[in-house]
Amino acid sequence: MSPAAETEFLRLLKKDINCFERIVESFEELVPHLSAPIQDQWRLQAQSRRTFTMELMILLEKAERYSGSPATARGSFNLSS
């Protein structure tokens, strides 16, 4: 992969991770106002969200390592719900 393509891949991956985190946070704010069945489903899927975030972070770390790009500050990715 060319250095320009690697840089673009890393940029888009970081953007996607940050977007995913913001979306989850937005939903977290809405969950208390939803019906019980929807709240239950949100809680049941919490592990899937945490796993997906962890997989994205692993991909980003490996991509940065192999591209020679220095690790940069990222969001907290605290998806405990």
Q: Is residue 12 part of a domain?
A: yes
The number of domains in the chain is 1
Q: Is residue 45 part of a domain?
A: yes
Residue 71's pLDDT is what? 52
Question: 33 vs 68, which has greater pLDDT?
Answer: 33
Q: What is the C-alpha to C-alpha distance for residues 2 and 55, in angstroms, rounded to an integer?
A: 24
Q: Is 23 within 8 Å of 78 (Cβ atoms)?
A: no
Q: Is residue 19 part of a domain?
A: yes
Question: 1 vs 7, which has greater pLDDT?
Answer: 7
Q: Is residue 77 part of a domain?
A: no
Rounded mean pLDDT of 58-72?
A: 80
pTM to 2 decimals? 0.69
Residue ranges making up the domain that contains 61: 3-66
31: pLDDT strictly greater than 90: yes
Q: Is residue 30 part of a domain?
A: yes
Q: Is residue 78 part of a domain?
A: no
Rounded mean pLDDT of 35-58?
A: 92
Residue 81's pLDDT is what? 45
Q: Is residue 43 part of a domain?
A: yes
